[in-house]
């Protein structure tokens, strides 16, 4: 019989680290390597001024702040939780000048020129609707849709009449 080989200390550390730490769906080692890559790119001032650079920056900073917000007891329980910590933390980090102005400009250009916030808000609403119980949605649709259609028809005629004046 063969003896099962035990992993070396370094390998077992990384496998435990990978299992215990999950940030934005990535294992701990992958997230730390991506964070290191982002810091090197920011230090060298070679962050691309496009959607890829902006999303990479947003995912890394947002994921780290979200993880911290979910593990800080006061924020988690009393101050609004993870998403509030991401918003406040990002504002503080940018305000203190801890992030290079080039990265802030890249993110600002991406958010303002590509209507990313509109896309994000619509995605949040749709994901919330899709998470709902199907039977509850069907029951509410039976009551809501006739009223919504009647309101649209009434508004159509009211706007038409007002437009004729």
Report domain extents, the chain: 10-128, 132-165
Q: What is the pLDDT of residue 147?
A: 93
pLDDT of residue 7: 53
Please tell me which residue, 138 or 36, carries the higher pLDDT value: 36
Q: What is the pLDDT of residues 95-138, one digit of tens each?
A: 998 988 888 988 888 888 888 888 888 988 888 888 888 888 88
Question: Which residue bears the tokens 């019989």?
Answer: 1
| Average pLDDT over every residue of 134-163 | 91
Question: What confidence score (pLDDT) does residue 22 get?
Answer: 73
Residue 129 φ/ψ region, left for φ over 0, alpha for ψ in the -120 to 50 degree band, beta for the rest: alpha
Contacts of 120 (CB under 8 A, 6+ apart): none
Task: Kindly state the tokens that stand for 28.
Answer: 């701990």
Residues near 54 by beta carbon (within 8 Å), at least 6 away in sequence: 106, 107, 109, 110, 111
Residue 111 buriedness (CB in 10 A; 0-12 / 13-18 / 19+): middle
- The pLDDT value recorded for residue 113 is 86
Q: In the structure, what pLDDT confidence band is assigned to residue 40 with cuts at 50, 70 and 90?
A: very high
Q: What pTM was estimated for this model as a whole?
A: 0.61
> Does 53 have pLDDT greater than 80?
yes
Token pair belonging to 140: 């509410």
Count of Cβ atoms closer than 10 Å to residue 81 Cβ = 15
Q: Could you read off the pLDDT of 2-12 as tens digits, one per residue?
A: 555 555 555 55
């Amino acid at each position: 019989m063969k003896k099962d080989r035990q992993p070396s200390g370094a390998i077992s550390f990384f496998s435990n680290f990978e299992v215990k730490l999950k940030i934005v769906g990535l294992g701990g080692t992958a997230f730390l390597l991506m964070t290191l890559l982002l810091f090197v790119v920011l230090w060298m001032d070679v962050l691309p001024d496009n959607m890829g650079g902006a999303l990479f920056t947003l995912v890394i900073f947002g994921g780290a702040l979200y993880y911290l917000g979910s593990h800080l007891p006061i924020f988690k329980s009393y101050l609004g939780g993870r998403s509030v910590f991401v918003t406040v933390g990002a504002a503080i980090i940018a305000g203190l000048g801890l992030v290079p102005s080039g990265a802030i400009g890249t993110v600002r250009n991406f958010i303002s020129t590509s209507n990313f916030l509109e896309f994000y808000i619509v995605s949040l609403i749709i994901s919330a609707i899709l998470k709902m119980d199907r039977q509850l949605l069907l029951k509410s649709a039976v009551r809501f849709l006739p009223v919504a259609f009647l309101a649209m028809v009434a508004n159509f005629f009211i706007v038409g009449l007002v437009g004729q004046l």
